[in-house]
């Protein structure tokens, strides 16, 4: 692992038994509050997509908004939120999925993505993959030209990549 990624990894707090017993929660808020770590995350994310023509970055509520906003800014792309039900003000489409702790639903504005868009879907952590798989289906239903998937952290032992579509480039900055 590179020195910058080691720097970030050292700033990620492990919270034991959160949100339930037996889970180790990888808390990125401690990395986000460190200016150097936040700069490294933004820089490394943007370098992955600098020459790919990205027009929209979709961030998943709520911590995914942080990296997605930075990435959109760095790439000169638009930012699109995927949110929990009832949080978006206009016409939405939704997808329900199973995650580690039960079922959940996410929504996106129906007019958020066009067929001309090249999209990066971003969330902070890939765990079991349910949230990202649902967000991917929402974005895919809008027929963009291309979709990429990205995470800051990937928890490899939980097998989340198995729920993600084959043939889609999936990247993670740090793997546990």
Q: What is the pLDDT of residue 99?
A: 67
Give the integer Cα–Cα distance in Å for 81 and 19: 23
DSSP code for 84: S
List the chain residues with pLDDT less than 50: none
What CATH number corresponds to the domain at position 127?
Answer: 3.40.50.2020
* Boundaries of domain holding 140: 52-175
Assess if residue 64 is contained within a domain. yes
Assess if residue 15 is contained within a domain. no
Residues 6+ apart with CB under 8 A from 164: 129, 132, 133, 136, 149, 170
Q: Is 169 a catalytic residue?
A: no
Please tell me the pTM assigned to this model: 0.94
Assess if residue 73 is contained within a domain. yes
Catalytic residue among 61, 74, 100, 137: 100
Number of folded domains that form the chain: 1
Catalytic residue among 63, 74, 110, 161: 63
Q: What is the pLDDT of residue 1?
A: 80
Tokens of 18: 């959160």
Q: Is 100 a catalytic residue?
A: yes
């Amino acid at each position: 692992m590179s020195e910058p990624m080691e720097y970030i990894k050292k700033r990620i707090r492990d919270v034991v038994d959160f949100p339930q017993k037996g889970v180790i929660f990888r808390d990125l808020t401690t990395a986000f509050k460190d200016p150097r770590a936040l700069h490294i995350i933004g820089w490394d994310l943007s370098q992955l997509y600098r020459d790919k023509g990205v027009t929209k970055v979709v961030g998943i509520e709520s911590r995914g908004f942080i990296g997605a906003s930075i990435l959109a800014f760095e790439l000169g792309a638009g930012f699109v939120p995927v949110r929990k039900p009832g949080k978006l003000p206009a016409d939405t489409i939704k997808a329900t999925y199973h995650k580690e702790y039960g079922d959940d639903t996410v929504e996106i504005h129906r007019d958020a993505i066009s067929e001309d868009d090249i999209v990066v879907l971003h969330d902070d952590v890939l765990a079991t993959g349910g949230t990202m798989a649902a967000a991917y289906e929402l974005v895919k239903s809008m027929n963009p030209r291309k979709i990429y998937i990205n995470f800051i952290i990937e928890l490899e032992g939980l097998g989340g990549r198995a729920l993600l579509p084959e043939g889609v480039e999936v990247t993670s900055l740090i793997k546990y």
